Structure 1
Amino acid sequence: MKVYQSNEIKNISLLGSSGSGKTTLVEAMLYESGVIKRRGTIVSQNTVSDYFPVEKEYGYTVFSTIIQTEWQEKKLNFIDCPGSDDFIGGVVTSLNVTDTALILLNTQYGVEVGTNNHFRYTEKFNKPVIFVTNHLDQEKADFEKTLLQLKETFGNKVVQIQYPISTGPQFNAVVDVLKMKMYRWKPEGGVPDVLEIPAEEIEKAQALHNTLVEAAAEHDEELMEKFFDQGSLSEEEMRVGIRKGLIHRDMFPVFCVCAGKDMCVRRLMEFVGNVSPSVSQTEKPQTADGKQIAPDSNGPTSIYVFKTSVEPHIGEVSYFKVMSGKLKEGDDLINVDRDSKERISQIFAVAGQIRTKVDEITAGDIGATVKLKDTRTGNTLNAKGCEYDFKEIKYPEPKFRRAIKALSEADEEKLSEVLTRMHEEDPTWVVEQSKELKQTILYGQGEFHLRTLKWRVEHNDKIMIEYKEPKIPYRETITKNARADYRHKKQSGGSGQFGEVHMIIEPYYEGMPAPDTFRFNGQEYKISNRDTQVVDLEWGGKLVLINSIVGGSIDLRFLPAIMKGIMDRMEQGPLTGSYARDVRVIVYDGKMHPVDSNEISFRLAGRNAFAQAFKEAGPKLLEPIYDVVVQAPTDRLGDVMSDLQGRRAVIMGMESEKGYEKLSAKIPLKELGSYSTTLSSLTGGRASFSMKFASYELVPMDIQDKLLKEYEASKKEEE
């Protein structure tokens, strides 16, 4: 394979909802460029990109796949991304290392929620977008409706390059208003006949051509002047204008393809090769410290590892983008994130499971290597003397959680290793060993996302696992003041144990004034604030300890032990054993013994005094509340709203977005256990949602009573 320079390399993300035809389009592009001799199909399970066993099992793209082709003296690096929202991590990864996005639409369904989701990510990463309408040969295909939805959703920046003569089973021709030609295919597709536009189409084609010329001219002053002088532009001048419009996201061209019959695929590749921006024409990537790095093949060598996978018969494969310089086989690089050395023993150009060994690749290009010993996804590797460090990719918050457990205890350690490896392959699989809940919690983007992991663990790694509903990380707090004292006394021959602590506790909130006086049962307690300790708790909230001891009734050296005793009970609250938070403790008196007092005595006295006071202070449970944003089709809004109400949701706002409703709500985590599955069922898979932790709020009394009874019953079972 030829070594391409940055001005000859095009990096493109292939996006679209499930069923839009991305994998089939990849097969056609690889066939047209000569990488494969025969096009595979999803049904036959012989496609180049969906080659993992789990993808063949489900018939879905699970992992993003790098697809490289050479076309008309250009290197086209496509990344075929999963369509399901459960695998959005592949889209986020891809957009971090590519320069243009092709968004496929199934013209049977038009603009779907997945289309909107993917477009929003292209906005976030400021990437050019080309819309590709597919499945034009299907009975229910409706190009005009799809086009109208595109314009309604994304505005007047949507500009046609092509339109079909007809749709449905008879589809075989498109009019190209950039070239002002008609392309017509035989039933086998492939190379088209290039014809003059029929007389009955010329008026429509000319009008669309004029619109395209004006749109192209808008993005360049010289072109605008020439357009005003001559009334038109040459094809090459239009390409320049369209490219500038793409780069600034001022133009979203619309193409037509029938990937399944290999119609218009060659023309799409030609357009991408000629018009989409090359690596050298797009925004320069930034390092973690904000420095822009040009993709200069003469610069210092630096590569960024954006994806890791464990592949059949090969092992660990690391996919990288050359950010600067040239990478050659045998190069020794330094991993700046892990301060270790790596030798690049082999370099591959990749087309799915087809890997071609190469000796060198240059800045802007994408490649793969194998068996790196200490490199992980998100790491930067540099030549000696280079100090570039590129930012790690940020992924969306998880939306689904389950407790995971190996059915055999003997497999627990191996399962932990497998889960760590899988997080490397897909960083949106997140694993937490929860000390609080005493469970291993697996987080993901949806039920299907976690079901996919289960299939792989059981079939590939031969570890049988089970999912359970995870416990909820409740918090305990107090709602009123209380006082308690406790004497710990133990004598069993020789020196004994003695410690007595008197304390007052009260609810704490940020910025509350220092305490002055308390009154309990008619008795007044004056507080003298001698010292204040504020502890930011690992699990959220605060513990504040005020030393108000006067007269030396407790030696200051025992205060740390009292604090440890209080923390013992904060880590296991008296209501349900959950973490406690937001409590202010005033230690105001106590007693000690000149011989028998020690740290353990005051730790136990502090712990028990705190437990007694906590139970008298109106203890309440707090539950985690999440901010949830739901995007649902308007015709399913009633069902979605009804379901939310049953989940104790508080609707915070609602707005319309071109056929979709965007709902913002606050919902308890306990009610979100299977929400992704329910939402998909209610809307036929046409809705999506995101969730993010918001705060802890009081649990309603009826639910608190139920939880307390469940906790008491579980304690009895343990006894």
Structure 2
Amino acid sequence: MKEYASDKIRNVAVLSHDGAGKTAVVESLLLACGAVDAVGVGKDNKHIMDFEPEEIKRNVTIQLGIAPCEWQGYKLNFIDTPGYSEFCGEVRAALRAADGILMVVSADAGVEMDTERAWDYGVELQLPRMIYVNKMDAENADFFGCLEKMRAVFGKSIMPLQIPIGEGNDFRGIIDVCKMIAWEWKNGKAEEIKVPAEYMPKAREVREMCMEAAAEGDDELLEKYLEGEELTIDELRQGLRQGMLTGRVCPVMCGSAVHHIGTTELLGRLIRYMPDASQKVMMGTDKKTGEPVMVYPNKPFTGFVFKTLIDPFAGKLSYVRIFSGELKEGNKLYNVTQDTEEKLGKMFTLVGKEQVPVKEAIAGDIVVIPKLAHARTGDTFATAEFPVEYDPIRFPNPLHTVAMVPEKKGDEEKLMTALSKISEEDPTCQVEKNAEGKQILVRCMGDVHLEHIMNKMERKYGVKGILEPVYIPYRETINGVTEVEGKHKKQSGGHGQYGHVKLKLEPLTNGEDFEFVDAIFGGAVPRQYIPAVEKGVKETLEKGLIAGYPMIHVKVTLEDGSYHPVDSSEMAFKVAAALALKKGVPEAKPAILEPVYNVDVIVPEEYMGDVMGDFSGRRGRILGMEHHPSHKNLIVVKAQVPLAEMSGYVTILRSMTQGKGTFNMSFFDYEEVPKKTMDEIIAASQAGKEE
């Protein structure tokens, strides 16, 4: 592959809802460019871009893939992404490397949940968008129905540059409304024809819409248009491109990726309308001064690691988008984020899993660099003289939490190593060791994501995980006041043991977990033993006295006691304090507290009632509803729900809202559980001790 100037490079992330044929579109584009000799079709599990065992088994894309190709003096870097929402972290990573988005919509399904999500990503990141209506040969294909749905959801920016000739089994060609020419496919080959007479009125109507859209952003073009003059083809293209770059226009094309209809035409539109890499200006931060820096492509070298892959043979692979300057084999790489320096060995690009060597890369290029010891996703590479750092990728917060143990005892370290490597590849998989519950916690995006993680652990790292209930960090407390004695007396020849305390237990209402008050007068308990009493109290509270959970919000006052001049010791008073607590807590109206979380659920209005009813069954409190600040059709349901009731909620919400609901949660406070729940927690604790 030859070298290209930045203005000849297009970086395009390809997004869609699962099943719209996004990967088939990418592979059809690669075939048209000659980057591959042949492609398979999805139902036969032969996709070039989907080569991981789980991808082949499920016939879905799970991780992003890069696919460079050359077309008529231009280089296009396609970034294929997963369509299934649980792998949206890969989409976020891909968008950091992209300059524009190609959204694939299925002609028979129209706008779906992840179509809307793809659009929202583009709006959020201010990336120009283009839409390809795929599967025009499908039985229920409806191009103009799709257009109507897209305009209803995305607004008037939706602008068709093509219309189909026929639909479903009759789909046989496309009409370019800008040039007013048509192509018809016969026996797999395209033939240019005149626009069929029966399609001429619609083609003229759509062309008029395109001219109006092109003129709106340019005063000279608008004046010409309003005076009734027809825009030239160059003026039309210029206006549409400017409209796309500003987000005012979203061009729409159509075709069939499986039959390679419309693919060549799509390539031309991507080159003509997508922004080129020389236009990409990044905002970074000078690591030395902390000042913001505008980084233009002609500045010294900067690059960003947007993806990490750990290959069993090649080792760690770092996917890098170059934003400025150039990079050559043998260069030193300064990792601004980690403040480390490494020497660049070789680099390459990928078409699926095939490596294509690269000697030199410039601003706009995407390369893969193997075996960088310190690099992680989100790191910035630069030079020591130009130490600019870019913001990390904002990955979605994983809200599905499970506890995992290895199938074989003794494999705990092996399990943690495998999970750590997977989380390095996939930041939406987060791993931690919970000290209190003595569990390995895995946070991910849902059940399908979890299954992929577990399959990958077993396949790549030879360790199998088993799930167990997640430890809920309950707390114990008291609601009453009591006074109690604790005496530890033991005589067994020689020095005995003697400690005696009188304690007052009462609830602590100032929000603190524990308070110890020394109220001894007259030396009933010598000063040197009082710290031992406090230590005995604290250690006993930390172990719990009802169900084995730490006890909080307790005030303990040492009121009186006695000692023996020979037999008393720190240990004896520590034991006496523990005995007093064990005796007194049952008399002080003990209770169990559970963590309660603020939960915000974002759903279309029609699902609001279902969400609220579901929360009622989870012992939740509805705090209110409000319209989403940036999506008028979405409602935010605010509630407070016990953590114990949120297990598996990601999957339940997805099922309840047909995948259209999302949520986030944050800790609110500890609250007392109902008596029935308290009895169940105590019973479970007792059963655990007996095992």
TM over 0.5: yes
Q: 1:137 deviation in Å?
A: 0.5
Specify the alignment match of 1:346 in structure 2: 346
Q: Can you list the C-alpha shifts for 1:517-569, whole angstroms capped at 9, x where unaligned? A: xxxxxxxxxxxxxxxxxxxxxxxxx4353656576968888887666555534
Q: 1:200 is paired with a residue of what secondary structure?
A: helix
CA distance in 2, matches of 1:605, 1:622: 30
CA distance in 1, matches of 2:136, 2:291: 44
Which moves more between the two structures, 323-332 or 121-130?
A: 121-130
CA distance in 2, matches of 1:488, 1:282: 76
1:572 correspondence with 2:543: yes
- The answer as to whether partners of 2:477 and 2:554 remain within 8 angstroms in 1 is no
Pairs within 5 Å for 1:81-92 = 81-92=81-92
Q: 1:43 is paired with a residue of what secondary structure?
A: helix
Q: Can you list the C-alpha shifts for 1:386-418, whole angstroms capped at 9, x where unaligned? A: 322222222222232222121112332222111
- The residue identity in structure 2 corresponding to 1:200 is E
Specify the alignment match of 2:673 in structure 1: 699
Q: 1:433 deviation in Å?
A: 1.1
- The answer as to whether partners of 1:625 and 1:668 remain within 8 angstroms in 2 is yes
Q: Structure 1 residues 130, 18: closer, same or farther in 2, change over 3 A?
A: same
1:621 correspondence with 2:619: no
CA distance in 2, matches of 1:355, 1:424: 22
- The answer as to whether partners of 1:632 and 1:686 remain within 8 angstroms in 2 is no
CA distance in 1, matches of 2:502, 2:225: 89
Q: 1:664 deviation in Å?
A: 5.4
CA distance in 1, matches of 2:368, 2:527: 62
Q: 1:51 is paired with a residue of what secondary structure?
A: coil
- The residue identity in structure 2 corresponding to 1:621 is L
Q: 2:186 is paired with a residue of what secondary structure?
A: coil
Specify the alignment match of 1:534 in structure 2: none
- The answer as to whether partners of 2:136 and 2:256 remain within 8 angstroms in 1 is yes
Q: 1:230 deviation in Å?
A: 5.8
Specify the alignment match of 1:245 in structure 2: 243
Q: Can you list the C-alpha shifts for 1:439-491, whole angstroms capped at 9, x where unaligned? A: 21211111111111122222333323222232323333444555556566777
Specify the alignment match of 1:200 in structure 2: 198
- The residue identity in structure 1 corresponding to 2:232 is S
Specify the alignment match of 2:682 in structure 1: 708
Q: Can you list the C-alpha shifts for 1:94-133, whole angstroms capped at 9, x where unaligned? A: 1222221122111222111122223223333222222221
Specify the alignment match of 2:427 in structure 1: 427
Q: Structure 1 residues 495, 609: closer, same or farther in 2, change over 3 A?
A: closer
- The answer as to whether partners of 1:105 and 1:111 remain within 8 angstroms in 2 is yes
- The answer as to whether partners of 1:477 and 1:622 remain within 8 angstroms in 2 is no
Percent sequence identity over aligned pairs: 31
Q: 2:62 is paired with a residue of what secondary structure?
A: coil
CA distance in 1, matches of 2:530, 2:443: 40
1:585 correspondence with 2:555: yes
- The answer as to whether partners of 1:113 and 1:631 remain within 8 angstroms in 2 is no
Q: Structure 1 residues 103, 506: closer, same or farther in 2, change over 3 A?
A: same
Flag structure 1 segments of 5+ consecutive residues without an equivalent.
Answer: 511-541
1:689 correspondence with 2:662: yes
Specify the alignment match of 1:216 in structure 2: 214
Q: Structure 1 residues 504, 661: closer, same or farther in 2, change over 3 A?
A: closer
- The answer as to whether partners of 1:505 and 1:613 remain within 8 angstroms in 2 is no
CA distance in 1, matches of 2:379, 2:278: 23
- The answer as to whether partners of 1:398 and 1:691 remain within 8 angstroms in 2 is no
Q: Can you list the C-alpha shifts for 1:335-388, whole angstroms capped at 9, x where unaligned? A: 233333211101112222122111111123211011112222222223233322
- The residue identity in structure 1 corresponding to 2:267 is M
Q: Structure 1 residues 248, 505: closer, same or farther in 2, change over 3 A?
A: farther
- The answer as to whether partners of 1:632 and 1:640 remain within 8 angstroms in 2 is no
CA distance in 1, matches of 2:650, 2:318: 32
Q: Structure 1 residues 143, 454: closer, same or farther in 2, change over 3 A?
A: same
CA distance in 2, matches of 1:351, 1:559: 72
Which moves more between the two structures, 66-75 or 413-422?
A: 66-75
Matched residue count: 680
CA distance in 2, matches of 1:694, 1:80: 36
CA distance in 2, matches of 1:413, 1:319: 28
Pairs within 5 Å for 1:425-574 = 425-480=425-480, 486=486, 493=494, 500=501, 502-508=503-509, 542-543=512-513, 545=515, 549=519, 565=536, 567-569=538-540, 571-574=542-545
Which moves more between the two structures, 74-83 or 307-316?
A: 307-316
1:334 correspondence with 2:334: yes
- The residue identity in structure 2 corresponding to 1:116 is E
Q: Can you list the C-alpha shifts for 1:206-234, whole angstroms capped at 9, x where unaligned? A: 22222222222222334334433563333
- The residue identity in structure 2 corresponding to 1:690 is F
- The answer as to whether partners of 2:504 and 2:556 remain within 8 angstroms in 1 is yes
Q: 1:260 is paired with a residue of what secondary structure?
A: coil
Q: Structure 1 residues 710, 145: closer, same or farther in 2, change over 3 A?
A: same
- The residue identity in structure 1 corresponding to 2:545 is P
CA distance in 1, matches of 2:562, 2:389: 58
Specify the alignment match of 1:155 in structure 2: 155
Specify the alignment match of 2:3 in structure 1: 3
Over aligned residues, Cα RMSD in angstroms? 3.3
- The answer as to whether partners of 1:64 and 1:94 remain within 8 angstroms in 2 is yes
Q: Structure 1 residues 407, 195: closer, same or farther in 2, change over 3 A?
A: same
1:133 correspondence with 2:133: yes
Q: Can you list the C-alpha shifts for 1:230-272, whole angstroms capped at 9, x where unaligned? A: 6333333333333333333222222212111111111112111
Q: 2:308 is paired with a residue of what secondary structure?
A: strand
1:98 correspondence with 2:98: yes
Q: 1:422 is paired with a residue of what secondary structure?
A: helix
Q: Structure 1 residues 590, 156: closer, same or farther in 2, change over 3 A?
A: farther
Q: 2:182 is paired with a residue of what secondary structure?
A: strand
